[in-house]
Amino acid sequence: MALSVDIIMKRQKFCLAVKFEAKEEIMGVLGASGCGKSMTLKCIAGIEKPDSGKIILNGRTLFDAAKKINLPPQERSVGYLFQNYALFPHMTVEENILAGIRQKDKQAQLARYSKIFYLTGLEKRYPKELSGGQQQRVALARIFASEPEIMMLDEPFSALDSYLKWQVELELADILKEYQNTVLFVSHNRDEVYRFCDRVAVISQGNLECVSTKEAVFHNPETLAAAKLTGCKNHSRIERLSNDTVEAIDWGLTLRVTNSISQDVSYIGIRAHDLKLANDETVENTFEFEIVQCIEDTFSFILMVKHQKATLGNNALLRVEVSKEIWRQVSCDRQRIYLTLPEEKLFLLKA
Amino acid sequence: MDLSPLYISIKTASLATAITFFLGLYAARFVNRQQRWQGIIDGVLTLPLVLPPTVVGFFLLLVLGRNSLAGKLLEKIDINLVFSWEATVIAASVVAFPLMYRASCGAFEQVDEDYIYAARTLGMSEEQIFWRITIPLSWPGIAAGTILSFARALGEFGATIMLAGNIPGKTQTMSTAIYSAVQAGDDDTAFLWAFVIILLSLVIMISLNYWSNRQRNLGEWR
């Protein structure tokens, strides 16, 4: 087991409780901003000190509150890519990379990593003279040159313009493919996490809620937080009516579900593109909705719809995404519409 | 015309600034890292800035004078600090120290902590980080502190006259020379030294402003 983390940390009102293990893989850490993602990385790096627990990396104990072990960051061998890259602004590219090299033969290492990260020719430039993508490459070169046993990337694309982002993302994917150690990829962006990672940990309000394969987290989220973070726009409180039917309170719908309903679920969710247009109410889980708003998005139409029995709250509206061709065929200035919520697309969620 | 007060003043202020530079930097680093007692230590270190220089001089006499423990120890190896040139340096250093210390504290606080964290995870030692990251990144503030310390050391009077006296050619600085000249009714000499001090201080303050503007406007990496 490459990395094992089990820590608790309290700071004023915020409480971080994180427990997970990662192998030599790219593990995503998905969470909203301020949920404790960066704090977790800082604890692993030795910048912040947890109150209790343990952090073990490749058999070395980095932190153990019970045994009073707390290695300084210098001895942890942890690579940390900061959100803003933290390139030393008064040093050239070359000096920045040299700052992280621990071996004797510094020049050879420098030449090697400059080449890998396409920095040859930029050695004498200062960070502010580089583009966002180049800055990220320098930051990565600097970290890789220090030969860490684990790589932690904190929102690696947040400082980039969107037109640069995709190019940088492709480059980073290539680089990480070659890296044999553990990578923790922290992001609030579900698409980035899905593209990069094998497994995903979901953090919500300081608590690590689940760790599983990305397929499981995205296609079958277990908690409300996981559903929201993976982009599920529609969710409603539920009341259990029988083994396979629930009352979705916010939406005002009575729904049939496939899975038998366990006691601890209290929400139901469905993705905006999983709702299907229908002609009448004969199919199961089909209802008539009033169209409250119709918004033209880049490649689809977004409908905000409401059932007549829905509550007044924020979650009463359902968001539906329909491709433009389909919508143009059926629309004709409609006020009302039939929609099916397919059983197999409904998520039953824990709070 | 005896120019020794000018030489003595410049020599004293330069050495005092050098001493204050390192003491101030290390003190600021030490206090920045303290978790507890930070307020108290900070207060004690800033005290010479707000106390009357005579109080500082009086305490220095008590600590370094012949009847003190330190004075007796120094006497055994044939060193007597009181009324020596070294005493002018000690007095000027103590009085200028808080300026350097406070400027450094403020400058260090301006440095984005992520740089320090990044340097640590890259394996740089704390000493390397201090000299290669923290100080270059807070250089404008440190430079300002250094210049202010020099100006303060150059103008030091009260503590100097109590600890080092006013011995022409040995411990008489420009400020103490003015005092002697006025007491002797020699207005010409007083005017001369007053003019030199004003000129020097003005040059220092203008260069300080120039320096900080330059840092702000065209600093090579900002």
Which residue in chain B has the smallest CA separation from A45? B121
Check residues B36 and B14 and name the one with the higher pLDDT.
Answer: B14
Q: Which residues of A touch B119 (CB under 8 A)?
A: 88, 99
Say whether A80 and B132 touch across the interface (CB within 8 A).
Answer: no
* B133: chain A residues, CB-CB within 8 Å: 88
Running DSSP on this structure, what letter comes out for residue A113?
H
Coil, strand, or helix at residue A258?
Answer: coil
Summarize the confidence of residues A70-77 as an average pLDDT.
94
Are A299 and A247 in contact, with CB atoms under 8 Å apart? no
Tell me which residue range forms the domain holding B113. Answer: 4-221
Is A84 at the interface with chain B, CB within 8 A?
yes
Amino acid at B179: Y
Residue B218 is predicted with a pLDDT of 47
Query: What is the pLDDT confidence band of residue B222, given thresholds at 50, 70 and 90?
Result: very low
- Give the torsion sign (CA, A35, A38, A40, A42): negative
pLDDT, position A1: 63
What mean pLDDT is predicted for residues B170-199? 94
- Per-residue pLDDT band at A138 (split at 50, 70, 90): very high
User: DSSP character for A84?
Assistant: T
Separation of alpha carbons B56 and B163, rounded Å: 9
Q: Which residue of B has its CA nearest to A140?
A: B122
Token pair in block for residue B208: 């300080």
If you average pLDDT over residues B14-43, what whole number do you get? 92
pLDDT of residue B216: 63
CA angle A155/A208/A347 to nearest 5° reads 95
CB contact under 8 A, B121 and A72: no
Which of helix, strand or coil describes residue A78?
Answer: strand
Helical axes B4-33 vs B174-183, angle rounded to 10°? 130
Does residue A123 come out as left (phi exceeding 0), alpha (psi in the -120 to 50 range) or beta?
alpha
pLDDT given at position A332: 64
Examine the pLDDT at A331 and tell me if it is beyond 60.
Answer: yes
* Distance of residue B120 Cα from the nearest chain A Cα, in angstroms: 5
Measured distance CA(A250)–CA(B8) in Å, rounded? 85
Q: How far apart are CA A72 and CA A61, in angstroms?
A: 12
Nearest beta carbon to residue A80 from set B118, B124, B125: B118
State pLDDT tens for residues B206-220.
888 887 777 665 445
What is the rounded CA–CA span in Å between residue A347 and residue A222? 8
At residue A226, φ and ψ (nearest 5 deg) are: -65, -40
B80's tokens? 């007597």
Query: Which of B120, B122, B220, B221 would best serve as a mutation to test chain A binding (most A beta carbons within 10 A)?
Result: B122
Answer whether A138 touches B (CB < 8 Å).
no
Query: pLDDT, tens digit, for every residue of A256-294?
Result: 888 777 778 889 999 999 988 888 888 888 998 988 888
- Give the ipTM of the model, two decimals please: 0.81
Which residues from A are below 8 Å from B220, CB to CB? 126
Which residue of chain A is at minimal alpha-carbon distance from B129?
A99
Q: Region B17-34: what's the mean pLDDT?
A: 94
* A88 reaches B (C-beta below 8 A): yes
Indicate the angle between helix axes A93-100 and A132-145, nearest 10 degrees: 30
- Indicate the length of chain B as a whole number: 222
To 5 degrees, how large is the angle CA B145–CA B147–CA B152? 90
CATH assignment at residue B189: 1.10.3720.10
Domain count, chain B: 1
Q: Which residue of B has its CA nearest to A90?
A: B221
Per the CB < 8 A criterion, the answer to whether B181 and B193 are in contact is: yes
Q: What is the mean pLDDT of residues A24-52?
A: 90
Give the range among A23-27, A137-141, A164-168, B152-156 with minimum mean pLDDT: A164-168
Which residues from A are below 8 Å from B222, CB to CB?
A: 89, 128
Residue A113 contacts B, CB cutoff 8 Å:
no
Q: What is the mean pLDDT of residues A161-184?
A: 86
Torsion, Cα B142 B145 B151 B156, to 10 degrees, reads -130
- What whole-number distance in Å separates Cα of residue A327 and Cα of residue A305? 14
Q: Which of A86, A128, A142 sits opposite B115 (nearest CB)?
A: A86
pLDDT of B130? 94
**How high is the pLDDT of residue B209?**
82
**In contact, A149 and A77? CB cutoff 8 Å:** yes
Within 8 A by CB and 6+ apart from B65, the residues are: B71, B82
Torsion sign (Cα): B158, B164, B166, B171: negative
| Chain A residues close to B114, C-beta within 8 Å | 82, 84, 86
The residues facing A199 across adjacent strands are A27, A213
Rounded CA separation B10/B193 (Å): 13
Report the half-sphere exposure of B154 (CA within 13 A, side-chain side): 22
Enumerate residues 118 to 137 of chain B having a beta carbon within 8 A of any beta carbon in chain A: 118-125, 132-133, 136-137
Q: Does A99 touch chain B (CB under 8 A)?
A: yes
Write b or e for each residue in B11-31: b if 16 or more Cβ atoms lie within 10 A of its Cβ, otherwise e.
ebbebbbebbbebbbebbbeb
Q: What is the pLDDT of residue A57?
A: 94
What is the distance of C-alpha A69 from the center of its chain? Answer: 31
Mean pLDDT across chain B: 90
Are A184 and A201 in contact by the 8 Å Cβ rule? The answer is no
List, for residues A108-125, the tens digit of each pLDDT value. Answer: 889 888 888 889 899 999
* Chain B interface includes A70 (CB < 8 A): no
Q: How many CB atoms lie within 10 A of CB A215?
A: 12
Q: Go through chain A and tell me how many residues it has.
A: 351
Q: Percent of chain B, pLDDT > 90?
A: 74
Contact residues, chain B, for A127 at CB < 8 Å: 221
Mean pLDDT to the nearest integer, A331-343: 83
Give the number of beta-carbon pairs within 8 Å between A and B. Answer: 63
Concatenating the DSSP letter of every residue in A115-178 gives HHTT-TT-TT--GGGS-HHHHHHHHHHHHHHT--SEEEEESTTTTS-HHHHHHHHHHHHHHHHH
Measure in Å the smallest separation between the Cα of A340 and chain B Cα atoms. Answer: 50
Amino acid, single-letter form, for residue A95: E
Q: Which of A72, A76, A86 sits opposite B118 (nearest CB)?
A: A86
Determine, for residues A142 and B222 on separate chains, whether the beta-carbon distance falls below 8 Å: no
